[in-house]
């Protein structure tokens, strides 16, 4: 009986599409809550997806922009209210 190696999984097109979509969603949610966590994650996912030449390039660029907006919004609100985070819910 001969054992065969399991098929190697290569990072493919679907992985980069998922990263682009996740970046967009996390950046969008980050505008409302947890922007100091979700913003940088959105930025990293967008950059990785763009470097791997994702077919959803526009969505990755939106995720990158929203991630940056999360951090900028946090900095502006921290300067205005002398606080470390904010939430839509109060």
Mean pLDDT of 66-79: 89
Mean pLDDT of 67-82: 86
Structure tokens that stand for 83 in this block: 């606080």
10: how many CB neighbours lie within 10 A of its CB?
Answer: 6
pLDDT score at 83: 65
12: how many CB neighbours lie within 10 A of its CB?
Answer: 9
Q: At what angle do helices 57-81 and 35-51 cross, to 10 degrees?
A: 150
What distance in Å separates the CA atoms of residue 45 and residue 14, rounded to the nearest whole number? 14
Higher-confidence residue: 75 or 83? Answer: 75
pLDDT, tens digit, for every residue of 16-58? 888 999 999 999 999 888 888 999 999 999 999 999 988 889 9
């Amino acid at each position: 009986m001969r054992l065969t190696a399991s098929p190697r999984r290569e990072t493919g097109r679907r992985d980069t599409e998922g990263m682009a979509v996740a970046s967009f969603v996390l950046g969008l949610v980050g505008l409302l809550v947890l922007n100091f966590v979700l913003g940088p994650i959105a930025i990293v996912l967008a950059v990785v997806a763009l470097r791997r030449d994702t077919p959803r390039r526009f969505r990755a660029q939106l995720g990158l922009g929203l991630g940056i907006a999360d951090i900028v919004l946090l900095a502006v609100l921290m300067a205005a209210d002398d606080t470390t985070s904010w939430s839509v819910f109060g």
